[in-house]
Amino acid sequence: MNNLIEIKGVSHAYRTRSGPLPVLDNLNVTVPQDEFCAVVGPSGCGKSTLTRLVSGLMKPDRGEVWLHGERVTSPRKTVGMAFQNPVMLEWRTILENVMLPLEIVAPQMKRAEAEARACHLLEMVGLKGFEAKRPSELSGGMRQRASLCRAIVHRPDVLIMDEPFGALDNFTREDLWQTMRDLRAAEPFTCVLITHDLRESVFLGDQVIVLSGRPARTQYVLDVDLPADRTIDILYTPKATEMLHVLRDQIRIAQGRDGGH
């Protein structure tokens, strides 16, 4: 399997008033095609920065980001993004929100075709019948579902998500994990998911990367060898519990609190 995402020796620092703030330090990550890479790490360690570098919104000070064998220097149409805030455009209906990327990426596409594509995705995430609604008429979880549809409507190679389920309650979150799993089963794409929920990382990830505290390095990589068609129950198996333990310990180390005192 070829690597779709390659992050090679990436370092980055923000220029702030009190001098440079190193955020990423010689980071190396590879994600094979159609694999799901979950990234966890202490708050403020540089996870969002990582997503902005992979999507080409920012250029790293040092090192290289490669997607599909091409060096990333600017944003590209083959990437989809979802944020913690679902950022729905209030003046558009849900359907029009989902269609937005197609207007940029495939302006020549017929409206009917674009609509059909968007409707199909909305149906898959359980939003059939809400196409004509305004974002303000939907719950947070439903808006996040629509946001996911928008992120993949143009069939990107890579979906980059920055804590997309972070603001949702536990049950809604678990529902969305399963939606995510179903979407990927229907049309595979490579995923990078930033999260602060270890259960989420194990349920969805093929690998979980633990970043150290700022400046972030790759501190630990966990191979999640669980079957692809997971259900929530799998999180209660000894194997998953063991993995969660390992991750919990690694986070503690990343936070600079060895041994759990």
Partner 1 sequence: METLQKIAVPLAAIAAFLAVWELIVWANGWPNYVMASPTDLPAAYVRFWELFLVMGWQTLWRTVLGLGLAVIFGTLLGMVMGFSRLAREALYPLLVGFNAVPKATLVPVLALLFIGQHDFNTVLMAFLISFFPIAVSVGIGLSTLEPEYRDILRALGASRFTIFRKIALPKTLPEFFGALKVSVTLAFIGTNLVEIVSPHGRGLGALFKSGETNGDYPLMFAVLIALAFLGIVLYYAVVLLERIFAGWAERPQG
Ligand X SMILES: Nc1ncnc2c1ncn2[C@@H]1O[C@H](COP(=O)(O)OP(=O)(O)O)[C@@H](O)[C@H]1O
Strand order of the β-sheet with 36-40 is 79-83, 158-162, 190-194, 36-40, 207-211, 218-223
Q: Is residue 23 at the binding interface for ligand X, with CB under 6 A as the rule? A: yes
Nearest CB to ligand X, comparing residues 101 and 213: 213
What is the spatial distance between Cα 35 and Cα 37, in angstroms, rounded to a whole number? 6
Residues that contact ligand X, how many (by CB under 6 A): 12
Minimum distance, C-beta of residue 260 to partner 1, in the bound complex (Å):
36
Q: Is residue 184 at the binding interface for ligand X, with CB under 6 A as the rule? A: no
Question: SS3 helix, strand, coil % of the chain, rounded to 5?
Answer: 40, 25, 35
Dig out the tokens for 14 from the structure. Answer: 């923000």
CB 34 within 8 A of CB 22: no
Residues of this chain, 193-232, that bind ligand X according to CB under 6 A: 214
What is the spatial distance between Cα 241 and Cα 79, in angstroms, rounded to a whole number? 33
Position among 16, 18, 108, 136 found at the interface with ligand X (CB under 6 A) = 16
Residues of this chain, 35-94, that bind ligand X according to CB under 6 A: 43-49
Map residue 222 onto helix, strand or coil: strand
What is the spatial distance between Cα 64 and Cα 72, in angstroms, rounded to a whole number? 8
Fill in the amino acid letter for 243: M
Nearest CB to ligand X, comparing residues 41 and 135: 41
What is the spatial distance between Cα 88 and Cα 109, in angstroms, rounded to a whole number? 22
CA 58 to the chain's CA centroid:
17
Position among 150, 184, 214, 217 found at the interface with partner 1 (CB under 8 A) = 150
Residues that contact partner 1, how many (by CB under 8 A): 26
What is the spatial distance between Cα 105 and Cα 153, in angstroms, rounded to a whole number? 10
Nearest CB to ligand X, comparing residues 23 and 102: 23
Nearest CB to ligand X, comparing residues 102 and 191: 191
Hunting for tokens 């549809």 — which residue is that? 149
Phi, psi of 182 (to 5 degrees): -65, -40
Q: Is residue 79 at the binding interface for partner 1, with CB under 8 A as the rule? A: yes
Minimum distance, C-beta of residue 216 to Mg ion, in the bound complex (Å):
11
Map residue 227 onto helix, strand or coil: coil
Q: Is residue 18 at the binding interface for ligand X, with CB under 6 A as the rule? A: no
Position among 3, 8, 21, 100 found at the interface with partner 1 (CB under 8 A) = 100
Minimum distance, C-beta of residue 135 to partner 1, in the bound complex (Å):
9
Please choose which of ligand X, partner 1, Mg ion, none residue 178 contacts, taking the beta carbon within 5 to 8 angstroms, the exact cut-off set by kind: none
- Contacts with partner 1, residue ranges (CB under 8 A): 55-57, 74-77, 79-81, 83, 85, 87, 89-91, 100-101, 103-105, 134, 136-137, 150, 154
